[in-house]
């Protein structure tokens, strides 16, 4: 287990961390989960520390897992609504008496607390792909305390860590595990790439046999694909991209279908700033929905995963999501996955805010 090299670092993407470091995060997460199960106090780890949470987008799991986690670690999570403060903005995006430059906000909060966590994607940056990540990088540039990415338009490392924690919990290993991340239909086209991109990064990094399934128009960031191929090469495993929804899940251990945006929704040069064209593309693939029949083609002990909220009836049938308590066969792991958000994030905070 790696014990140094964590304190004071930003947590922006798993691409910044080695496999050994991520394994250490998981070990800490499982230890903290054990303590939580036993109601064993561990509020000495971040006692009297403050986490500033800045949400440009709404949240259920992320906000509550961070707030509950900080309380359990002995600190306090402070919620900041950008619309109730002078909205942090990049240079050139400022509006008089409505915004405040990121460089100033980051330095002020650095004087008052111990870490800054940010969620931002989509509308707040006008669907400029990478715009939200650039905002977070600017915070990190000026902040003297760690910056945590609670989801941007490129990465969701907190969700990804919980995802692989759930895989480890169910299977005890990553070796030989077929992890399938797939696009699924939703009537809403406003879906960032962050979850699928971070999921395949995490799965390939840890040594899963990773499969990415999507219609041709739903391609992910080429840099992410290249990183996944490199991870597979490092681990002696495979990373495969397919456009066949049903075939992708044959023999899968991890079944993870969810919607993400088609390329035309993004601003040029990545996309075309065309939501109508994006909707037309989405509507071509309404059959991309997870059903119990497709789950039956997966491995007998397969788990269904989703970051939540899932679009029930569109992305997935109710009987798949709700099959959480079965004696044998495949099951839904979504609520274990959701709980693991808290334990995984507690591990990250413990290491970068209170570690060595």
Query: What is the CATH number for 136?
Result: 3.40.50.1370
Mean pLDDT of 150-164: 98
Terminal Cα-to-Cα distance of the chain (whole angstroms): 13
Question: HEC profile for 266-278?
Answer: CCCCCCCCCHHHH
pLDDT of residue 200: 98
Residues 109 and 182 in one domain: no
Query: What torsion, rounded to 10 degrees, do the Cα atoms 79, 162, 181, 231 define?
Result: 110
Domain that holds residue 81: 14-154+341-354
pLDDT tens-digit readout, 213-262: 999 999 999 999 999 999 999 999 999 999 999 999 999 999 999 999 99
Element (DSSP H or E) covering residue 69: helix 61-72
Assess whether pLDDT exceeds 90 at residue 276. yes
Total tally of structural domains belonging to the chain:
2
Q: Are residues 318 and 178 part of one domain?
A: yes
Q: Is 3 part of any domain?
A: no
Looking at the structure, do residues 345 and 334 belong to the same domain, yes or no?
no
Question: What one-character-per-residue DSSP string does 305-349 give?
Answer: ---S---BTTTB-HHHHT----SSS-EE-HHHHHHHHHHHHHHHH
Per-residue pLDDT, 144:
97
**Six-digit token pair at 350?**
């413990």
* Statement to judge: residues 170 and 312 lie in one domain: yes
Identify whether residues 56 and 91 lie together within a single domain: yes
> CB-based contacts of 323: which residues, under 8 Å, 6+ apart?
292, 304, 330, 331, 332
Q: pLDDT-based confidence at 16, cuts 50/70/90?
A: very high
> What mean pLDDT do residues 81-102 have?
91
Looking at residue 355, its pLDDT comes to: 79
């Amino acid at each position: 287990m790696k014990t140094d090299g964590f304190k004071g670092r930003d947590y922006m993407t798993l691409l910044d961390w080695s496999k050994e470091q991520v394994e250490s995060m998981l070990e800490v997460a499982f230890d903290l989960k054990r303590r939580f199960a036993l109601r064993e106090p561990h509020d000495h780890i971040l006692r009297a520390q403050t986490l500033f949470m800045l949400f440009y987008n709404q949240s259920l799991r992320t906000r509550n897992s961070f707030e509950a986690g900080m309380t359990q670690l002995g600190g306090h999570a402070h919620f900041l609504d950008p619309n109730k403060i002078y909205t942090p903005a990049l240079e050139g995006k400022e509006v008089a008496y409505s915004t405040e430059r990121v460089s100033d906000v980051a330095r002020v909060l650095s004087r008052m607390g111990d870490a800054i966590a940010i969620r931002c994607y989509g509308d707040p940056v006008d669907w400029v792909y990478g715009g939200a990540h650039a905002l977070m990088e600017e915070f990190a540039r000026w902040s003297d305390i760690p910056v945590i990415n609670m989801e941007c338009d490129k990465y969701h490392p907190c969700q990804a860590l919980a995802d692989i924690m759930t895989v480890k919990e169910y299977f005890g290993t990553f070796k030989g595990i077929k992890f399938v991340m797939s696009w699924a239909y939703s009537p809403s086209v406003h879906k960032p790439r962050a979850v699928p991109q971070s999921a395949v990064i995490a799965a390939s990094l840890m040594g899963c046999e990773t499969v990415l399934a999507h219609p041709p128009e739903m391609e992910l960031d080429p840099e992410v694909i290249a990183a996944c191929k490199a991870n597979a090469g490092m681990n002696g495993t495979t990373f495969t991209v397919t456009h066949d929804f049903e075939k992708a899940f044959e023999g899968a251990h991890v079944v993870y279908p969810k919607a993400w945006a088609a390329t035309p929704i993004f601003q040029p040069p990545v996309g075309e700033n065309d939501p109508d064209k994006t909707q037309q593309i989405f509507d071509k693939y309404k059959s991309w929905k997870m059903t119990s029949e497709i789950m039956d083609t997966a491995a007998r002990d397969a788990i269904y995963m989703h970051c939540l909220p899932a679009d029930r009836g569109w992305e997935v049938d109710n009987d798949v999501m709700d099959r959480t308590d079965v004696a044998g066969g495949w099951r839904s792991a979504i609520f274990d996955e959701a709980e693991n958000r808290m334990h995984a994030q507690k591990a990250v905070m413990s290491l970068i805010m209170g570690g060595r």
